Structures are given as structure tokens and as C-alpha cells.
Amino acid sequence: MFDDFFGKFSRAFLENNFSGLRLMADGLKNTILITLGALLLGVILGTILAVAKVLPTKNIFNKILAGIANVYIAVFRGTPVVVQLLLFYFGICAKIDIDPVLAAVICLGMNSGAYVAEIIRSGILAVDHGQMEAGRSLGLTYSTTLIRIVLPQAIKNILPALGNELIALIKETSVVSFITVVDITKVAGNIIAKTYEPFVPYLFLALIYLVIVLFATWLVGILERRMRQSDQR
């Protein structure tokens, strides 16, 4: 059994001077690049959308911002990420010479922003309203109080949820092969097409995703512990 397994592993990854492992390394680089880029864009967009939704609706401008944020979130949460990716790359970007990796970062970042927005909004609402009142009583504007007092506290509260979003984003990158991005999922498919051995490449692919997710979980855990230590000082 083990001889057969290692024989399949050798055919899939080790023949021709470790070409399979080199291809997997290149695909892993694209996967990590897309994940980090999409997460950064998602957090930026999510923060903007969340703030737009919690602004006081005392004037028409704030109401319009909240309406735009609600529509954005509804669209991106209500449609599959694969459909968004295909529509963005083959539709919106059809006449633009854009790198597929960049297109994947933008599309996945925009999708993630819709989920991050609700996470951050819930974190902001969870902060005691007295924090906002205290900042305003000190002469700070609403926006300054929100950014300097409320948001930092909200981030600490929602860090586990943001960690879950990071994990989901890592796994969602497996669909970027639909727009010709050579990620680890695409590499595994190419290896299978050459060797006709699906089990070992897919098993290796699953292990790679598992290791990445466990590493991300470990990093988020370290960040959570450090934030808790800062609260106890």
C-alpha cells in the first residue's frame, strides 16, 4: 500500500527534477499573494462600509452613504464568489489588459469587504455607547471619536471573526483558477492531467491548505493574546 502511494507521489511530484514540487511552490506563492492582497483590500473596504452604515442618519448625505453600503453588501453577499470572479475578469475587465492575479485580488477583496463590513459594524455597535459620549464631551468630533476611541476597541472584539474571514478567504482562493491564475489548485489539476493520478495531488493539495490555515490560526491566536495582555496593563 505504502509502496503504491509513494510510487504515485514520485510520479506526480518528483519526476523530471522535482518539477511538480517547483510548480506547487509557484502556485503557493500566488495563493498567498492573492490572500494577503484581498484581505488588505477587504479590511479597507469593510471599514469604510461599516462606518458608512453606523453614521447618524440625520442628513441626506449619510442616508445615501448607508444606502450604497447596504446595496454593496447585499450584492456581494448574495451572489457566488465564482460568478463575481468570472463576471469581473471576463466581463468588466474584458477590454483591459489586467493581470489575472491582480484581478483575483481585486475581486476577492471586494467580496471580502462585504463580509468584513458586517463584522466591523457589529464590533462598533458592541462598544459601549458611553465611549462615544465621553469622546464628544471632551470636544472631539464624531469622526475623531469613532476612529480614535471606538474603532480600536471594536477591532479587539472582532479579531476572532476577522480570523475566520481570513481562513475563509484562504480557501476561496481555490476558485481563481477559473480565470487562468496558476494557484496550487490549478497546479494540482495540471499534474493530474499529466499523470492521471488524482488521489495523491488532491491529497497533497488538501494538506497544503490545512497547513496554511493552521498557520494563520496560530498567528491570529498570538495577536489575540497580545491584545489581551495590553488590556491588563
Domains assigned to the chain: 2-231 (1.10.3720.10)
Question: How sure is the predictor about 14, in pLDDT bands with cuts at 50, 70 and 90?
Answer: low
41, with CB counted inside 10 A (0-12, 13-18, 19+), is: buried
pTM comes to 0.86
What percent of the chain has pLDDT above 70? 89
Q: Which helix (H) or strand (E) holds 74?
A: helix 60-78
27 versus 198: the higher-pLDDT residue is 27
For residues 185, 186, 192 and 198, what is the CA-based torsion angle, rounded to 10 degrees? 20
Can you give the pLDDT at residue 79? Answer: 94
pLDDT tens-digit readout, 26-40: 888 999 999 999 999
**Are the beta carbons of 41 and 107 closer than 8 angstroms?**
no
What percent of the chain has pLDDT above 90? 37
Q: What does the pLDDT average to over 141-167?
A: 84
Can you give the pLDDT at residue 22? Answer: 76
Helices 199-231 and 15-54, packing angle to 10 deg: 40
Cα angle 104, 159, 62; round to 5? 75
Q: Give whichever of 42-46, 159-163, 229-233 has the largest mean pLDDT.
A: 42-46
In this predicted structure, which of 25-29, 56-60, 91-95 has the lowest mean pLDDT?
56-60
Grid cell digits, residue 187: 497546479
122 versus 131: the higher-pLDDT residue is 122
CA distance 68 to 52: 9
Can you give the pLDDT at residue 17? Answer: 46
Can you give the pLDDT at residue 124? Answer: 86
CA distance 168 to 184: 16
Grid cell digits, residue 59: 442628513
Identity of residue 40 = L
In this predicted structure, which of 71-85, 117-131, 191-205 has the lowest mean pLDDT?
191-205
Q: What does the pLDDT average to over 70-99?
A: 91
